[in-house]
Chain A
């Protein structure tokens, strides 16, 4: 049974007048991969540094691995900071062993583990190379291994994928999953949603120092109505009348968070296909759409039941470009016409967004919407 190994209660961090972290509370269970998501400047790194007692919170309480200070449990924690570096003149194997020793591993064991890790990650041949001779990817691997050599219970990775090529990103994803399967807990911050979507058991979205969402991916998806994308050149008015259909939106443009570009313009110009997005009430059986289309003679060239991606969720909850944090603390996402109520954890649809953040080319929404 999983236990809470990290909890924050009402944590604040101020730098002078700047409120970097605002009343943050969340918890992380053992043996889970916990995503720490947020745009740049959201307060992710400050929070991670507070977890590690590198900096102290202005107020609030942090419990980590049963202790109120990470200093006493440092040997159980591995930390890969966002800004990474190595001692240029130090050998790779010495670097890994050195950090293991700093976290309490005996000299011989530290060296043994360093060698084993280098072998496991295909860097055996570079064990005695100086760090300055390693490629960027290899150096990042060495940094990661330096956080693993003392076999930490809790691994905190700040933007671990940045700077890695796709192959190494994939390797790292596999490693993170493997560590979780071994019973370790992994907290990682990122603003690349695809990694978080593939890896996270639970995640937290932070924006402007405030928690916007904490939960599983499914819980986040449940904030949005189920959706279906169809493509056809025929009239689909009949589909709007089906009970349970909330909206039908003709897609045009690429700045909608639900967006897709116009597709299927026929070269002869005789038939023009359009993409439509259909949103339903929960528990709606989408087979009814297929059935109604068949009965009405609507020819479909696309029929795609899509889950809301984490990217869309993130943009709706924390997207800086299109979101306005309102006075009540809720976010209004103009482009998507969704606003997110962080207190009630509820997504609200708007017929039109605030004027100051309206898209330049708002052709795609108003005329085609029914609800």
Chain B
């Protein structure tokens, strides 16, 4: 074991203490922070989209304006909810004696009305300032993303749609061609014909003109606004007044999720539950990433030792099994270094900077103290060993990456094969796809990790795990033989040769 650990330590040092890796370790958090900052900047710098509505019916422009005002109110309240979630303690917040409209919840039409009635964003800030943590940034009211402008000069309300289009066309062009030299160019214009009311019965369609037809977000909003207006008209035709119609629109079902395996008072799904549900998917994804990244490291590393002829000297110092084990441990540790460093920084941050943030604490609790973490780790290691052995064996019989490519194609196919089924397993952890995948030993780790939080049948998990371990034992033995025997072979073997390497007793 001592020899294996020495090999492992050398492998680990070779990669982790290299300039490139240390730079990556240093750059990774900076990169993540920079990316978050950039996203924030990009979000803020998204240009405001100006548009005009030429409405020959004189009824829809007001509805559209209301739609975009409503959209902005939702944007502001959502931003406020997010601000509160991050910078306050959610449990004390729920007990706060403030207007409920100021507290994080689904943004409904009724809540918007209540929010405004209670004093709007300024009222919310005043009411909840004592519940916010100290030394936090001020709430920034988000900027409007869409601004509806009055029709430019010269568009006579009496003119035709075609005349209006001709007049507005210069205002919709890019750059220097645009007629609005001093202000921002119009992003789009919506032309609503006079007979739009009867559009369902065959009337003329509304026309959407834009200088960027790839960005359909504004077009979608127009469609939703007009849909709503037409539905409102229909409702009126059926004798419903506007208040009744708005009341129908605000009738949004809210569903709270519960777990039947808990006592009623604790059954409601909390943040920790949600994290625990997401953790299997995260671990499975991580296993995929690790297998691919470490697989290539194992491969190149073994090929290098084989091609630079150092392997025979190593084999005179340690056994082939020790060499193999050392590589598995050392290079596996390389792959785990970045996540472990990230986790350590995360835990340290949760104990210091985010010590008062309940969500962060719950995330840390879930990741570190959930009993399922040990289950994940076990299957994670099993999955790693099974796939890593394949890469080690390929490395041992290849003199170059070109040689290895011959074998890598089928291996990649095997590694990737369960990916489409993973989504099915995630959605239905105890369904047929989950069971099938669980009983295929090389995919058992993936399947069990995805199913672990969903109380799968114990007999199935134990049975499949025993099967996986037995298969894994034979698999490691065969791959180990290929590794041991292949290392000293001069030329890469063909398929028949590989089978011989795997099945012969003595090297």
User: How far, in Å, is B382 (CB) from chain A's closest CB?
Assistant: 28
Q: Considering only CB atoms, which chain B residue lies closest to A98 in the complex?
A: B10
* CB under 8 Å from chain A, chain B span 271-324: 305, 308-310, 312-319
Q: At the interface, yes or no: A146 with Cβ under 8 Å from chain B?
A: yes
When distances are taken between beta carbons in the complex, the residues of chain A under 8 Å from B243 are: none
A55 touches B507 (CB 8 A): yes
A102 touches B3 (CB 8 A): yes
When distances are taken between beta carbons in the complex, the residues of chain B under 8 Å from A85 are: 305, 308-310, 313
With A55-B488, A89-B14 in contact, is A103–B317 under 8 Å at CB? yes
14 A-B interface contacts by CB (under 8 A): A54-B488, A77-B316, A79-B312, A79-B313, A79-B316, A81-B309, A85-B310, A85-B313, A86-B310, A89-B14, A98-B10, A99-B317, A101-B6, A103-B317
Q: Kindly supply a per-residue 1/0 record for chain B positions 1-27, scoring 1 wherever the CB is within 8 Å of any chain A CB and 0 otherwise.
A: 011001100100010001000000000
User: How far, in Å, is B326 (CB) from chain A's closest CB?
Assistant: 10
Q: Give the size category of A's interface with B.
A: 20 to 34
CA distance A58 to B505 in the complex (A): 10
With A55-B507, A102-B6 in contact, is A83–B318 under 8 Å at CB? no
With A49-B488, A89-B14, A102-B3 in contact, is A54–B309 under 8 Å at CB? no
Partner of B313, one of A55, A56, A80, A101: A80
Known: A54-B312, A86-B308, A104-B2. 5 other contacts (CB 8 A): A74-B317, A74-B318, A80-B313, A89-B18, A90-B14
User: How far, in Å, is B361 (CB) from chain A's closest CB?
Assistant: 42
Q: At the interface, yes or no: B262 with Cβ under 8 Å from chain A?
A: no
Q: Kindly supply a per-residue 1/0 record for chain A positions 84-101, scoring 1 wherever the CB is within 8 Å of any chain B CB and 0 otherwise.
A: 111111100000001101
Q: Considering only CB atoms, which chain B residue lies closest to A14 in the complex?
A: B506
Partner of B316, one of A58, A74, A89: A74
When distances are taken between beta carbons in the complex, the residues of chain B under 8 Å from A80 are: 313
B506 touches A56 (CB 8 A): yes
CA distance A52 to B313 in the complex (A): 11
CA distance A85 to B314 in the complex (A): 10
Q: Give the size category of B's interface with A.
A: 20 to 34
User: How far, in Å, is A172 (CB) from chain B's closest CB?
Assistant: 17
A81 touches B313 (CB 8 A): yes
CA distance A74 to B6 in the complex (A): 15
When distances are taken between beta carbons in the complex, the residues of chain B under 8 Å from A49 are: 312, 488
CA distance A98 to B6 in the complex (A): 8
When distances are taken between beta carbons in the complex, the residues of chain A under 8 Å from B3 are: 102
CA distance A32 to B49 in the complex (A): 92
Partner of B317, one of A56, A102, A143: A102
Q: Kindly supply a per-residue 1/0 record for chain B positions 478-507, scoring 1 wherever the CB is within 8 Å of any chain A CB and 0 otherwise.
A: 000000000010000000000000000011
Q: At the interface, yes or no: A71 with Cβ under 8 Å from chain B?
A: yes
CA distance A147 to B310 in the complex (A): 12
Q: Considering only CB atoms, which chain B residue lies closest to A71 in the complex?
A: B319
CA distance A84 to B313 in the complex (A): 8
A87 touches B14 (CB 8 A): yes
User: How far, in Å, is A68 (CB) from chain B's closest CB?
Assistant: 15
CA distance A172 to B185 in the complex (A): 84
CA distance A79 to B313 in the complex (A): 7
